[in-house]
Amino acid sequence: METNDTPSTAPASLQQLRARVSGRVQGVGFRYYALSQAESLGLTGWVRNRADGSVEVLAEGSRPELEAFVDALWKGPSGASVRNVHMEWGPASGTFERFQVTFFGF
């Protein structure tokens, strides 16, 4: 996964989660499920499909909300079958205003 070398403008209490979700996660509404979960938790960032069939997520917020988000990613929407959630943690960049679905992962 890419790294973000831009200096953080986020409060030190916020963190960044990069996750790659694998399994049956495309064609089942996973990105919009992730969007809904992230918005309900007050997270910012993005979610996108990857060419390898996985879904990639970058989310920023407080650690408890991010951990709740990870739990939601493991569950997924009905029709999904999550096999793995690979996570990388780091400091938040503070560059996102909201959480959104993006379409540039291929």
Catalytic residues: 31, 49
**Dihedral over Cα of 59, 88, 3, 103: its sign:** negative
Please tell me the distance from the alpha carbon of residue 4 to that of residue 87, in angstroms, as a whole number: 15
- Among candidate residues 79, 39, 83, the one with its CA nearest the CA of residue 61: 39
